[in-house]
Amino acid sequence: MRNLFIALLVQIAAIAVAGTSFAQEAMTLDQQVNQAFAAATGPFVSFIFAPIPGTSFPWIVMWLVIAASIFTLYFGFVQFRFFGHAISLVKGDYSDPEDAGEVSHFQALATALSGTVGLGNIAGVAVAVGIGGPGATFWMILAGLLGMASKFTECTLGVKFRNEYDDGTVSGGPMYYISKGFKQLGIPGGKPLAILFSIFCIFGALGGGNMFQANQAHAQIAGIVGDYPGWITGIAFSVIVFAVIIGGMKSIARVTEKVVPFMGILYVAAAIIILLVNYDKIGWAFGQIFEGAFTGLGVAGGLVGALIQGFKRAAFSNEAGVGSAAIAHSAVRTKEPITEGVVSLLEPFIDTVVICTMTALVIIITGQLIVDPATGKYVLDGSMIATVGGTSGVALTSAAFGSAISWFPYVLAIAVVLFAFSTMISWSYYGLKAWTYLFGEGKTTELIFKLIFCVFVIIGAAASLGPVIDFSDAAIFAMAVVNIFALYFLMRLVKQEFHSYRERLASGEIKKFKG
Amino acid sequence: MTTKLVIGLDGHESGERVLDYGKRMAGLIKDCELLVVYVVEWSPYSFQTPEENAERHKRREEEISLAKARVVDPALAKLSEAGVKARGLVRHGHVADILNAIAKQENAEQIIVGRASSQGLVNRLFGSSTSTLVMSAHVPVTVIG
């Protein structure tokens, strides 16, 4: 099965390579290959992103939001009631000093965050606001708040059902909780579902977690230094990724892992400064967000347009329900799986409610979206809102920050590249765990995946990616289809844990060690 | 009642002198127990990759057994040869915090450590573990040069 899978990946690589800029003389062939790939994967992509009949609302977004709402109700608004407790846990108030030296809650949270904070927060939000108007921000925040409950559910299960090996290492994630959890509940079909999840996870890791990141990082660098072939960025990135994941050059990863949070803080700080300077417009901006959320303020698709964009970008950004975070969080060696679930609910909060909202506010407040003074509604340029510089995506965010702090676009470019890199490192691990679930743990098996991962970095930076990326995005969302389906069965196990934890917390059996 | 002294070792050559001093004190006090402590410098707020997290437990065990084998066990062997009662501990965290916490927890009389093992700019800027300990400890600290 491993060889078959590798053959399939080689096929994808070959198709993507054929679509790269080194094969320019054969443009028509490239197009044919791209078309062939699109035709082969198209039905799957169309299925994942298909609108609900009679609407333009993709069902997958609905799937994520409904799940998040159900988990929110099922766990009695855990994201609000246990928010303070989550902060105490991260601060280490409940950490036994005897366990010092193990992965702390803070570390697990920071690691998971560095996998999700990235392009979604910078480019995705700009797309949401650019198409859906300020109102999209409202729906994005709502989706972020609801998504906290999805994270809570999946990360608790991640820790509860992880594998602990004799050598002390751990492996966890949806594939483990699906197969073990279903077995525990006596529900058949756990193993095939777990395998399906793993396959989607590998595709998602190589696509959205790798090629898309490499591609966008190249676009950023090329935007600053001028256009040059993507494979150069690809090889440079690939060498660094190789050094980290195969060469064991932990120092590079460690530097990135330190710089990325710093960049995140710098980004939020810059946004706060811009908001403070324009403090008189904050009230107006929130007015626009609320008004836009329910009226659309003239954007294409009106209210529904704003809602789709907000929900979609929140889901893209915080990955709640996708299952990826459960892999990252399962490394914590806690006696209480619930504590990890509680900590993980901070993730969509930081990612979406804080960082994404900052991006949106800066874009709105700096007046990037053109309003018709006569009607007070947004001027449309096709399906997008017309912007001051005619920009969208990362460029729109960059222009918004640049209009207030002239040198910030350079910092932003560095941040995007670093975010892309740290997202790749995280996803290389998620993909690896899915890979080893399918093919077994072992040095050679791991090496094969890591090498494939490095090759896809080059392809990602060089390729004209259209259909390949559509497929990878669809694979990430397909993970959510399998994961959430399984979560509906497994959530009662989380409830049992949660109930017992709450009781012991109330009775004082679970004590603070400090604070 | 047994008098307890906390001996902080960091694997450097000053450790020998710290140990000798501890031995001498134990001889003078008579009913005395030495707690030989090695602290692996570690922060719960550092940033790690997912892979490092997954291997953390294994690494921690390795760090503990290495510290025992290289520093703590040889020290305990020397002390037992000299007929001094002693226990060894390996902990993760910040040196000053951990030594102070152990001293408090064990009701120790004092903490004995070596002078800062590294010199220079870093120490001048951020202070060494020894100077932090001297300033924050709840029991007397003896620093061996």
DSSP characters over A77-103:
SHHHHTHHHHHHHHHTTT--GGGBTBP
Please name the member of A100, A114, A430 whose beta carbon is closest to the beta carbon of B42: A100
Considering only the beta carbons, identify the residue of B49, B54, B64 that sits closest to A169: B54
Q: What is the pLDDT of residue A149?
A: 96
pLDDT at position A66 is: 94
- Domain count for chain B, please give it: 1
The CATH number of the domain holding residue B94 is: 3.40.50.620
Is the alpha carbon torsion for A215, A420, A204, A425 positive or negative?
positive
CA distance A220 to A217: 5
**Which CATH number goes with the domain that contains A234?**
1.20.1740.10
From CA A447, how far away is CA A199, in angstroms rounded?
18
Residue B113 three-state SS: strand
Mean pLDDT of A390-409: 88
Q: Which residues of B99-109 are buried (b: 16+ CB within 10 A; e: fewer)?
A: bbebbeebebb
The band of A18, judged by pLDDT with boundaries at 50, 70 and 90, is low
| Banded pLDDT at A23 (limits 50, 70, 90) | very low
**CA–CA dist A272, A269 (Å, integer):** 5
pLDDT at A342 over 60: yes
- Counted across chains A and B, CB pairs separated by less than 8 A come out at 92
> Is A224 within 8 Å of A411 (Cβ atoms)?
no
Q: Is residue A45 part of a domain?
A: no
A49-107 pLDDT per residue, tens: 888 888 778 898 889 999 999 999 999 999 999 999 999 999 989 988 888 888 999 99
Q: Rounded to a whole number, what is the distance in angstroms from the first to the last CA of chain A?
A: 53
Query: How many domains does chain A fold into?
Result: 1
Among A99, A111, A329, A514, pick the best mutation site for testing chain B contact (most B Cβ within 10 A).
Answer: A111
Of B40, B53, B101, the CB nearest to A108: B53
| Residue B64 in this model has a pLDDT that exceeds 80 | yes
Residue A373 has what DSSP assignment?
T
Contact A92 B93 (CB under 8 A): no
Task: Tally the C-alpha atoms within 13 A of residue A87's C-alpha that lie toward its C-beta.
Answer: 7
Assess if residue A125 is contained within a domain: yes
On chain A, the residues whose CB falls within 8 A of the CB of B42 are 100-101
Q: How far are the Cα atoms of A49, A97, A99, A331, A340 from residue B56, in angstroms, in the given order?
A: 39, 16, 12, 8, 16
Residues A325, A174: Cα–Cα separation, whole Å: 9
Domain that holds residue B125: 3-144
Residue A377 in tokens: 């509604």
Within a domain: A43: no
Residue A515 lies in a domain: no
Alpha-carbon distances, residue B22 vs A301, B29, B40, B69, B95 (angstroms): 79, 10, 21, 20, 18
Between B46 and A173, where is the model more confident? Answer: A173
pLDDT digits over B78-131, tens only?
A: 999 988 999 999 999 988 899 999 999 999 999 998 876 566 665 556 667 788
Residues in chain A whose beta carbon is closer than 8 A to a beta carbon of chain B? 92, 95, 97, 100-104, 106-108, 110-111, 114-115, 167-171, 244-245, 250, 253-254, 257-258, 260-261, 327-328, 331-333, 425-426, 429-430
Give pLDDT, residue B120. 61
Highest mean pLDDT among A5-14, A119-128, A197-206, A260-269: A197-206
Q: Would strands B32-41 and B85-93 be described as parallel, antiparallel, or unpaired?
A: parallel
Confidence of residue A2 (pLDDT cuts 50, 70, 90): low
Q: CA A479 to CA A202: how far, in whole Å? A: 10
- Of all residues in chain B, the one with the smallest CA distance to A105 is B44
Q: Which residues contact A177 (CB under 8 A, 6 or more apart)?
A: A154, A157, A158, A160, A161, A326, A486, A490
> A332 to chain B: which residues are within 8 Å by CB?
53
Q: Which of A95, A100, A90 is nearest to B97 (CA)?
A: A100
pLDDT per residue over B9-38, tens digit each?
Answer: 887 777 888 999 999 998 898 889 999 999
- Read off the pLDDT of residues A206-220 as tens digits, 9 standing for 90 and up: 988 888 888 888 888
B108, B139 contact by CB (below 8 A): yes
Long-range contacts: A39-44, Cβ < 8 Å, 24+?
A: A41/A467, A41/A470, A41/A471, A41/A474, A42/A467, A44/A471, A44/A474, A44/A478
| pLDDT at residue B107 in the model | 93
Minimum Cα–Cα distance from A254: chain B residue: B48
**Is the per-residue pLDDT at A297 higher than 50?**
yes
Give chain A's mean pLDDT.
87
Label the pairing between strands B110-114 and B3-9.
Answer: parallel
Q: Which of B1, B9, B14, B58 is nearest to B38 (CA)?
A: B9
Lowest model confidence (mean pLDDT) among A2-16, B9-23, B126-140: A2-16
Residue A331 to residue B101, Cβ atoms within 8 A: no
Write out chain B residues lying below 8 Å of A158, CB-based: none
* A388: DSSP letter: T
Helices A302-318 and A279-295 cross at an angle (nearest 10°) of: 110
Query: CA of A237, closest CA in chain B: separation in Å?
Result: 17
Please tell me which of the candidates B53, B93, B101 has its beta carbon nearest to residue A331.
Answer: B53
Nearest in space to A450 (alpha carbons), one of A425, A428, A430, A422: A428
Closest by CA position to A275, among listed A365, A355, A353: A365
Contact B49 A244 (CB under 8 A): yes
Q: Using the beta-carbon criterion (under 8 Å), do B58 and A169 form an inter-chain contact?
A: yes
pLDDT at A512: 87
User: Cβ of B58 and A331 within 8 Å?
Assistant: no
The band of A303, judged by pLDDT with boundaries at 50, 70 and 90, is confident
For an interface test with B, the pick among A94, A170, A443 (most B C-beta atoms closer than 10 Å) comes out as A170
C-alpha pair distances (Å), A439 with each of A167, A443, A450, A454: 19, 11, 14, 19
Residues on chain A touching B91 (C-beta within 8 angstroms): 100-101
Query: Is A188 part of a structural domain of the chain?
Result: yes
Note whether A169 contacts B53, CB cutoff 8 Å.
no
A491 or A421, which is more confident: A491
Residue A386: both structure tokens together:
């017309």
Q: Is B106 on the interface with A (CB under 8 A)?
A: no
Task: For residue A447, give the nearest of A248, A256, A169, A235 by alpha carbon.
Answer: A248
> Is B91 in Cβ contact with A111 (below 8 Å)?
no
Residue B45: its H or E element? none
**Residue A242, min C-alpha distance to chain B (Å):** 14
**Three-state secondary structure of A8-56:** HHHHHHHHHHHCEHHHHHHHHHHHHHHHHHHHHHHHHHHHHCCECCCCC
Q: Which of B47, B55, B92 sits opposite A101 (nearest CB)?
A: B92
Give me the long-range contacts of A381-388 (CB less than 8 A, separation at least 24): A383/A131, A383/A300, A383/A301, A384/A130, A384/A131, A384/A300, A385/A129, A385/A130, A385/A131, A385/A133, A385/A299, A387/A130
Write the pLDDT tens digit of every residue in A43-52: 888 898 888 8
**Tokens found for residue A371:** 């309003």
Q: In which domain, by residue range, is A115 found?
A: 60-507
User: pLDDT value at position A298?
Assistant: 67
Average pLDDT, chain B: 87
- Domain assignment present for residue A346? The answer is yes
**Are the CB atoms for A164 and A330 separated by under 8 Å?**
no
